[in-house]
Structure 1
Amino acid sequence: MKKSFLNQYAGLAKALVIASMLSPLLSFGQAQTLSLQKAIELAQGRNRDLRIDSINIHKAKQQTAITRGLLMPNISLTGQFQHYFQKPVFFGLNGNTSNSEKIGYGRFGGEDIGAAQISLVQPIYNSGAKHEIERRKLLEKQSQLSFRQREVDVVAQVKQNYVQLLVLNERLKLQKESIVRNQKALNDSRSLLAQGRALRVDTLRAYTSVKNLEPDVLRLTYALQISQQQLRNLLGDVSETDYLLSDSLELNANESVPGEDGTYKLSIQQRPDLQILSLNKEINDKEIELYKSARLPVVSFISQYQIQTQTNQFRFGNAAYPPVFYTGVQFAIPIFSGNQNINKIALGKIERQQADVIYNNAQEQLKTEVKQVLASLIETSERIKTQQNVSETAELSYSITKYRYEKGVASRLELIDSEFALTSAKSNYLEAVYDYLSSKIELDRITGNVKDQL
């Protein structure tokens, strides 16, 4: 019995040692400290949407390289072999007889025919290829701007998610503090009720207050889990890492709201999506020039060197290989293509007009967005000042009411109302901070800013 007990104790001790050795690794895989700057850097390097747009840049560059090949020489080597079971026929060699309308023919040549040729085609003048290359370069620039716009959006989403996590943590902390205060009040009510110094209705009211707060804790806990998952998706993290945020909800009281005109001009200069809309107009112009160039001739330099032979019974070793070599210029002039070029040019002009309207509409919408976000910054800034004052006042009021309640001067109902006012004031302050920081994030997104500060 003693030996069995010692064996069990040794096994338990061994398990504890192994668990203590693995605990740092397990904790590292489960939780990780994360700053906002680090989160943005991780998103810029691992976000899947950014990786997709980065691949699109490489695709656009490759398309440009393919298009450049239209102006480069085209060299090809071809060969062929044919075996005739009956020799080739050539008509008109024997003349016509007077009593027959049939054309005479003869068979001669080798049964086995082989040939090889190397050809060269070098474009000399191809206006369409030139315009297509220029259009492809613009599309390549467009893919780079699309990547920058995606980066702006991803950084804004990371900031928004980071702030949301900070606020949710603070709200959960606030809710737990409220439960602690109400739980203490419930315990006091039960004690006074047992002493006959309080009414049962006070205890029931305190119990109801505690139970009403518990669902909010559960809701905030699940909201934190969802927000953590959203952050992992933004960072391209496929693990189940829980991030411990190292930054805090700090506000710069001396920060001023930028002017509307300056913000609008900065957005026009920096926003990649507006630059894409402006670039679309240039792309439409190149497409119109491309359609027009389809009516122009294409001139190419051509050359070919050919070796051919004929023999019988596959005796290529004894056959002759006479060469044929020529060079020249080839041109193709389009005459009529079913009015396709005319209709394509008309279509290009319509798309150009549409691009102008889309760009002008985006500018007008930008004015509204700038006005809204700046108004939100001003409003939330003032709301923060008000709610901060209200929160300080509510905290002082709760302290006084609690002191009066402990001295038997204030009623239990006054204490509950004071605690609820304190919780609501702090919650409203957090909401104002969240709205203010969200407005700052939206301002960065509107101006195309990817800085890591809030």
Structure 2
Amino acid sequence: MIIRTFFKYCILSAAGLLLYGATGNAQTLSLSLHDAVSLAIRHNRALKAAGIDVRIAQEQRKVARSLSLPSAGIGAQYAHYFDLPVFFGLGETDDKNKVPYSRFGGRDQFTAALSASYPVYNPAARPSQREAQLQEKASRSSYAAKEINISAAVKRTYLGILVLNERLKLQYESLQRNNKALQDARSLLAQGRALRVDTLRAYTTVKNLEPDMLRLNKAIEVGKLQLTTLIGIDTVQDVILTDSLLHPDAITIPGEAAVYETAKANRPDLQQLNLNRQIRGQGIALAKARRLPVVSLVGQYQLQTQAHRFDFFNASWPAASFAGAQVTVPLFSGSSNLAKIRQARLSYEQSGIQLTDAYEQLKTEVRQVVANLQETFERMQTQEQVKTTAAESYTIVQYRYQKGVTSRLELTDAELALTTAQLNYLEAVYDYLSARIELDRTTGKQ
């Protein structure tokens, strides 16, 4: 009996501390819903990774731009000959069938050259630049889509914690009412004015509520952990939610056609699919460009010398330079260029199928979102009326029980109906607000 009393006291104390916002952790963070979304946009790890993708795409644009810009390089070469260099055509030989040769020059040779090239005509430059530009836009669209999804996840998680807090509060109030009922039943049983079965029923109800409160407390802890993970802050830090769950205002439920057109125009993921299709189109142009010639202007300035025993300071440094044009014509590459063109066309066709499929799925998604919004709003209105009726019924039955007109069983049923109606109303509010969040996510609204 002492253990059970201590167990009950621990549960009531934990619930009371939670209701009044007390916490044993010194590191706390007060969060409103707006603050939670703002922190998630700044610190969420998935968003940070998506932001790096945007920066990578920006650097890729610079790489593509370099195909149209001149390039220059400096090269140097040193060689040591163990025997003097050979020059054929000079010297004498006894055998007329052999080409004469001589050895002269320095054993140490050094050459330095400055080379420059400017692509006058590179057919791959423009499609590469266009592809990189589209890829950057696609990366930004991907980032915006992740931002919308994470914002919606933060809102749902925040809302879920608020609902759990309200459920815990209702369970605590129900536990108090049932504890009072248990005390009355025990008192009446001791006076011989009640049956033992009434006391057992009240005791069973109290004990059934205690595990629910523990489960709700654990669910709140897990919900806060999920919220801090989404926000991107230290999971050791405890959070206090400053917003409260209020009866939501009614909104005008839009039609399916308006929602579909808004989503089609604003959804970043759909924009990304459209950009991917354009990228595949540039891939075809780029594959075709590999079969065309490349024309470049080239030039070089070269210094070279030969010396003995590394005495380059006293050696001669004659210079040579040239400028000209270079044409590179791809003739045959093992049919790889033709295969790449076909591959690019298939990718373009595939992206078109994916875009069409996404639009068709959007129609189904829009219909589901609008239907959920209508259903949850009507259910919330109904559950609000049921909750009010159940509260009035409990008040009447409680008064009748105090006057000895009705039985304990009827009061217990009325209390259970009140708790059930309150919980159902909370569930309806959560479903309705979740449907509104899903509507904003579907239409591309953050």
Please report the TM-score for the alignment, with normalisation by the length of structure 1: 0.90
**Matched residue, 1:385:** 381
2:338 counterpart of 1:342: yes
2:197 counterpart of 1:201: yes
2:86 counterpart of 1:89: yes
**Matched residue, 2:300:** 304
2:109 counterpart of 1:116: no
Q: Within 2, Cα distance between the matches of 1:30 and 1:186? A: 40
The alpha carbon displacement at 1:317 in A equals 3.0
2:44 counterpart of 1:44: no
2:68 counterpart of 1:71: yes
Q: Within 2, Cα distance between the matches of 1:396 and 1:242? A: 39
2:136 counterpart of 1:140: yes
SS in 2 for 1:103: coil
Q: In structure 2, what residue type is equivalent to 1:236? A: G
Q: Within 2, Cα distance between the matches of 1:317 and 1:364? A: 78
Q: Within 2, Cα distance between the matches of 1:84 and 1:32? A: 75
2:184 counterpart of 1:188: yes
**Matched residue, 1:249:** 245
The alpha carbon displacement at 1:339 in A equals 1.2
**Matched residue, 1:21:** none
**Matched residue, 1:60:** 57
Deviations for 1:404-445, whole angstroms, at most 9, x for unmatched residues? 111111111101111111111111111111111111111111
Structure 1 residues 83 and 32: alpha-carbon distance in aligned structure 2, compared to 1, 3 A threshold: closer
2:228 counterpart of 1:228: no
Please report the TM-score for the alignment, with normalisation by the length of structure 2: 0.92
The alpha carbon displacement at 1:100 in A equals 5.7
Q: Within 1, Cα distance between the matches of 2:149 and 2:309? A: 74
Q: Within 1, Cα distance between the matches of 2:28 and 2:107? A: 82
The alpha carbon displacement at 1:356 in A equals 0.8
Deviations for 1:148-189, whole angstroms, at most 9, x for unmatched residues? 011001100000001101100000101111110000000001
Q: Within 2, Cα distance between the matches of 1:213 and 1:93? A: 110
**Matched residue, 1:13:** none
Q: Within 1, Cα distance between the matches of 2:255 and 2:224? A: 35
Structure 1 residues 316 and 222: alpha-carbon distance in aligned structure 2, compared to 1, 3 A threshold: same
Structure 1 residues 66 and 115: alpha-carbon distance in aligned structure 2, compared to 1, 3 A threshold: same
Q: Within 1, Cα distance between the matches of 2:353 and 2:306? A: 68
Q: Within 2, Cα distance between the matches of 1:190 and 1:317? A: 114
Equivalent of residue 161 in structure 1, options 157, 161, 170: 157
Q: In structure 2, what residue type is equivalent to 1:298? A: V
Q: Within 2, Cα distance between the matches of 1:398 and 1:289? A: 76
The alpha carbon displacement at 1:353 in A equals 1.0
The alpha carbon displacement at 1:102 in A equals 3.1
The alpha carbon displacement at 1:71 in A equals 1.8
**Matched residue, 2:145:** 149
The alpha carbon displacement at 1:113 in A equals 1.4
The alpha carbon displacement at 1:243 in A equals 2.2
Q: In structure 1, what residue type is equivalent to 2:132? A: R
Quick check: 234-243 or 421-430, which moved more?
234-243
Q: Within 1, Cα distance between the matches of 2:58 and 2:248? A: 44
Q: In structure 2, what residue type is equivalent to 1:69? A: S
SS in 1 for 2:124: helix
Q: Within 2, Cα distance between the matches of 1:49 and 1:340? A: 38
Unpaired segments ≥5 residues, structure 1: 1-25
**Matched residue, 2:208:** 212
The alpha carbon displacement at 1:252 in A equals 4.1
**Matched residue, 1:278:** 274
Q: Within 2, Cα distance between the matches of 1:409 and 1:245? A: 45
**Matched residue, 1:261:** 257
Q: Within 1, Cα distance between the matches of 2:127 and 2:307? A: 50
The alpha carbon displacement at 1:34 in A equals 1.2
Q: Within 1, Cα distance between the matches of 2:105 and 2:303? A: 16
Kindly indicate whether the alpha-carbon contact (under 8 Å) linking 2:25 and 2:238 is maintained by their aligned counterparts in 1.
no
SS in 2 for 1:318: coil
Q: Within 1, Cα distance between the matches of 2:187 and 2:422? A: 29
CA RMSD of aligned residues (A): 1.5
Q: In structure 2, what residue type is equivalent to 1:55? A: I
Kindly indicate whether the alpha-carbon contact (under 8 Å) linking 2:225 and 2:235 is maintained by their aligned counterparts in 1.
no
**Matched residue, 2:16:** none
Kindly indicate whether the alpha-carbon contact (under 8 Å) linking 2:154 and 2:227 is maintained by their aligned counterparts in 1.
yes
| Identical counterparts, % of pairs | 49
The alpha carbon displacement at 1:30 in A equals 3.3
Structure 1 residues 310 and 30: alpha-carbon distance in aligned structure 2, compared to 1, 3 A threshold: closer
SS in 2 for 1:295: coil
SS in 2 for 1:317: coil
Q: Within 2, Cα distance between the matches of 1:428 and 1:145? A: 39
Deviations for 1:99-151, whole angstroms, at most 9, x for unmatched residues? 66333221122222122111111111111122112111111111111110110
SS in 1 for 2:313: helix
Kindly indicate whether the alpha-carbon contact (under 8 Å) linking 2:248 and 2:429 is maintained by their aligned counterparts in 1.
no
Q: In structure 1, what residue type is equivalent to 2:67? A: L
Unpaired segments ≥5 residues, structure 2: 1-22
**Matched residue, 1:30:** 27
Q: Within 1, Cα distance between the matches of 2:207 and 2:229? A: 35
Q: In structure 1, what residue type is equivalent to 2:122? A: N
Structure 1 residues 217 and 27: alpha-carbon distance in aligned structure 2, compared to 1, 3 A threshold: closer
Q: Within 2, Cα distance between the matches of 1:322 and 1:112? A: 15
SS in 2 for 1:316: coil
